[in-house]
Copies of this chain bind each other. A is one copy, B any other.
Amino acid sequence: MSDLKSDRVSVRRLRERGAYDSKSIYAILDEGKVCHVGFNVDDQPYVIPMAYARVDNKLILHGSVLSRLMNKLAGGVNVCVTVTLVDGMVLARSAFHHSMNYRSVVVLGKAIPIIKASEKAQALNALVDHLIPGRSKASRPGSKQELKATHVMALEISEASAKVRSGDPKDDKEDMQTDYWAGIIPMATAYGAPRPAADLKMSIPLPDFSQLL
């Protein structure tokens, strides 16, 4: 377990919500499926949703070699990758103390292109398996051309923080005897029943997705 704190990633407001150990940070990264990647073009920030995976102390990102984002990243610009899990609405007696329960991670750094074909293939397998456990072995592996058409980037998780809010609303003393309802409405990502593609061969049975669902 390593400490990933820096001044730049320190939680300034509500410091008790911050965590900087790799264990807390990895747990959030491993649960999320989509990250939001921030990068600059001419002092204009852009924030783009992407799939990702964590492999050891690295975040794997990928995209077409034709993508602007991927070419920016490959050029070694500063990025911020944020993963947010929303756990619920927090309803306080006062409008002011309404909040959300969430777990989020911010990772700062520069992504480095993975060049070697075997390492690219391995990283892409990790990405598919992060989204759907075991899926890399249950689909047709990437070809040489497909690997060539894909930028794969690794962002070292060396400067990062987690921010977590959990539990009940925190109302002011004066409001505790009011008649407003207070509590939590839980939220989570739900997976529906897998739906075969319209053109799937009839003879192919539904795989076991129990690790995901």
Q: A-side interface residues toward B, CB under 8 Å?
A: 8, 12-13, 33-34, 36-40, 43-49, 51, 64, 66-68, 78-82, 84, 86, 88-89, 91-96, 98, 100, 102, 104, 106, 108, 124-125, 128, 131-132, 135-136, 138-143, 146, 150, 168-169, 175-201, 203-207, 209, 212-213
Contact = CB atoms under 8 A, between A and B. Distances in A.
Contacts of A200: 181-183
A186 to B, nearest CB: 3
A128 B190 CA distance: 24
A196 B182 contact: yes
Copies of the chain in the assembly: 2
B131 A79 contact: no
A193 to B, nearest CB: 7
> What's the dominant secondary structure at chain A's contact region?
mixed
Contacts of A178: 140
Contact of A45 (B79, B181, B194, B207): B79
B92 A49 contact: no
A183 B199 contact: no
A136 to B, nearest CB: 6
Contacts of A48: 82, 106
